Amino acid sequence: MAVDGLVLSTGYGLWSPLAWIVTFVIALIACYLLWRLGVSSYKPGTEQSAPYLSGNKADDPTALHVPGGNLYWGFIEGLKWYYDRIIPLHTGIVTDYLIWMFGVAAILLVLVMVVI
């Protein structure tokens, strides 16, 4: 194994077991050091682990549920022109999705065959 500049030449390409083991060990050491930086005074099962909703104590667990519509509101509003055309095509029937998948695959196959 030789290092030429920033390139590691192992003779085996990316599949050198030694290079992967060294990388894995370095990653484990980095993870351990990051874990050691954590706060050691945390105690599970106490007030520290109680759920809070915007700094307020949440007595009702359902108050912590945030609907998907709220999470993706800006994304959906930004792509409203796209969703207005796509939502009517959504039927929920698996065979419709298979037809779309095979249709797109056929179009891609034809494009690849024409280009090559």
7: confidence class by pLDDT, cuts 50, 70, 90: low
Return the exposure string of 31-50: e unless at least 16 CB atoms fall within 10 Å of the residue's CB, then b: eeeeeeeeeeeeeeeeeeee
Measured CA to CA in angstroms, residue 3 lies from 9, 10, 24, 116 at distances of: 6, 9, 18, 39
Domain co-membership, 54 together with 28: no
Domain co-membership, 54 together with 103: yes
- Note whether residue 41 is domain-resident: no
Domain range for 23? 2-36
* Percent of the chain topping pLDDT 90: 36
DSSP 61: G
Domain co-membership, 81 together with 27: no
Domain co-membership, 104 together with 55: yes
Total domains in the chain come to 2
- Note whether residue 42 is domain-resident: no
User: What pLDDT is recorded for position 72?
Assistant: 84
Contacts of 16 (CB under 8 A, 6+ apart): 1, 10
pLDDT above 80 (res 53): no
The pTM is what?
Answer: 0.36
Return d(Cα 39, Cα 48) in angstroms, integer: 12
